[in-house]
Structure 1
Amino acid sequence: MEQIRDLFLDDLVLRYDRVLVLCVSGTRGRVFDRATQASYAILQGYRERREQAGRGGQFALRVLDTGNVGPGEGVLAHEAIRIIEEQAPPFEKLRRTLKDMARQTICLTVPHDLWYLHNRARSKGENSMTLSFYRLGRALEIKPILEMRDGRSRVAGSVRGFERAVARVLDQARDVLSKGHILPVVVMSFGGDPRIIREMTAYQEFEAFAAAHKCRLHLSVMSASMAVNVGPGAFALAYIQK
């Protein structure tokens, strides 16, 4: 909490008048709780810091639980920037819009290492990866497809082979995009070198399809905070339903 408070009071309140903090789902970490607690101290102490720096006016801060992880946070950040640039809405309207979008954001993850995922889930008291599924998946190279939405996760399906599972996720994104059910932006991350994903035939086909439908794609290295939960070599994709 102290690190968040110091970041704002020493830097952000001196450069910005309004800040909206997008946090990883509260069901997946304590960042939202800590940022919320820090916000009280920030709002109480910012005036003196701004006056010392010769910056007048009020400072507004809001903390939003995205109910999602990794690319799910990224796709909301993308939309926040787009809305600000295109519409310049009032700050509170922007917060409400993103809060509504967060409820419609879906993140699909394909873990690569089931042993890591099983042990991580067990240590956190989760039952999304049962022992029987872990044993079957490891024996037959079956990869689960995990869906995260509005703070809740579930196993949405399973496919034999990592590359086939990634292709299944890309096919799902292609399907909802072709039907006009999502906003035209898809954010992806990979727990390794993104070139591995870019070289997959399924990705190249999806990339061409997205370009034809004027949908922006963003693929990056997976964040450390997400990778520590799903394991190395995982792939994740997120979009926002209309």
Structure 2
Amino acid sequence: MRVGLIVDSACDLPHEFSKKNDVFILPVTATIDHHTYIDDHNPEQTREFYHNGLLQKGHHAETQAFTPAQIHDLFMEKIVTQYDFAICETVTRSRSLVYQNATEAMNSVMVHYHTAREAAGVQGNFTMRVVDSKQLFAGQGLLAAHTLTLLDKKLSKNALRHEIETFTDKIYTCVIPRDLHYIRERARMRGDKSVSALVAFLGKALNITPVLFGRGADAKPVAKTRSFELAVEKVMNYAIGRIEAGLLTPYVCLSCGLSWQEIDTLPGLDRLRETCDQHGVELLLSQMGITSSIYIGQGSLCLALGAEPHTFSDFQ
């Protein structure tokens, strides 16, 4: 049975990792200064966006999920004839229409897939599942990496879905937003009240850089620092301590809304790399994608790992 994994553009993973493992990217439409782009994680396009400053504050930017009809056509063309079973893991449904639209598209595909497979000379039935990752950015990337390890176990479809959905509640993320006001304005555009005006005001008035921490998309402030560098040190210390205590999957995902030159000089990154090597953990380091950067703002950072229940302060 040929099994395919689909993620959307909010999922941050290294391009090489996605390509090596045949992870299919469900695009998201990005509109910047009234120009429309299709974010399909093309690394050259992403680098160009960073180089030209299109993801910086001051540009009007928003994202929009593909419609059910667009997703249906994409699945029929790219997925139905290539796989016998497909899993589509979407950004948390509480922050995006991708899950809803992908589910609607899946239902339509299940009615019409026979025609496409017969035309391509592919025998047998096709099935697929849409899963709400309950994650954003690196958290979604971690779930995808873990899913690939589960695929190697040749589990039944129901067992595989159960394992994936169970693991979503064991993913912890750290987010360092570079500009709380940017996040607040983006949230207001979506009707999301998760970032309060008070927190945004304090961040600007006192020059505070917070660390947000939690399971999935439910991250809350756990530390306030006077600089981005100090916040990064705290996150690196947390990740190193948690790796040494043990993880539930041998991956740590780290995505950064920075140039690669800036990423290479992040404080504590070398220590994190060394700790990963010592404990047989693969560090999935990537430049934050266009969709993620529009959502949280250029210059931000997101780290995700899978572990038993704990607090951020346990590893400070």
* TM-score of Structure 1 vs Structure 2, range by shorter chain: over 0.9
Is the alpha carbon distance of 1:108 and 1:201 closer, same or farther for their aligned partners in structure 2, counting shifts above 3 Å?
closer
The partner residue of 1:193 within 256, 259, 284 is: 259
Q: Cα deviation per residue 1:131-183 (whole Å; 9 max; x = unaligned)?
A: 33222222332112223524433223322211111111111111211111443
2:154 is aligned with 1:88: yes
Report the TM-score, using the length of structure 1 for normalisation: 0.93
2:81 is aligned with 1:14: yes
Match of 2:13 in 1: none
Match of 2:139 in 1: 72
Match of 1:165 in 2: 231
Letter in 1 for 2:75: F
Letter in 2 for 1:184: P
**Aligned-residue offset at 1:20:** 0.2
**Aligned-residue offset at 1:207:** 1.1
Q: Structure 1: state its 5+ residue gaps.
A: none
The partner residue of 2:246 within 164, 176, 180 is: 180
CA distance in 1, matches of 2:266, 2:288: 17
Q: Structure 2: state its 5+ residue gaps.
A: 1-67, 309-316
Q: Does structure 2 conserve the Cα–Cα contact (< 8 Å) formed by 1:141 and 1:161?
A: yes
Q: Which region of structure 1 is more displaced relative to structure 2, 149-158 or 213-222?
A: 149-158
Q: Does structure 2 conserve the Cα–Cα contact (< 8 Å) formed by 1:176 and 1:182?
A: no
SS at match of 2:253: strand
Matches within 5 A, 1:18-167: 18-85=85-152, 87-167=153-233
CA distance in 1, matches of 2:204, 2:256: 21
Higher helix share: 1
Q: Cα deviation per residue 1:27-78 (whole Å; 9 max; x = unaligned)?
A: 1101000001111100000011111211111101000000001111111111
Q: Does structure 2 conserve the Cα–Cα contact (< 8 Å) formed by 1:64 and 1:99?
A: yes
2:300 is aligned with 1:234: yes
**Aligned-residue offset at 1:91:** 2.4
User: Aligned residue pairs: how many?
Assistant: 241
The share of aligned pairs that are identical, in percent, is 29
CA distance in 2, matches of 1:47, 1:126: 40
Letter in 2 for 1:138: K
Report the TM-score, using the length of structure 2 for normalisation: 0.72
Give the aligned CA root-mean-square deviation in angstroms. Answer: 1.7
Q: Which region of structure 1 is more displaced relative to structure 2, 28-37 or 172-181?
A: 172-181
CA distance in 1, matches of 2:256, 2:134: 20
Letter in 2 for 1:225: T
Q: Which region of structure 1 is more displaced relative to structure 2, 220-229 or 25-34?
A: 220-229
Q: Which region of structure 1 is more displaced relative to structure 2, 123-132 or 194-203?
A: 123-132
SS at match of 2:81: helix
**Aligned-residue offset at 1:8:** 1.1
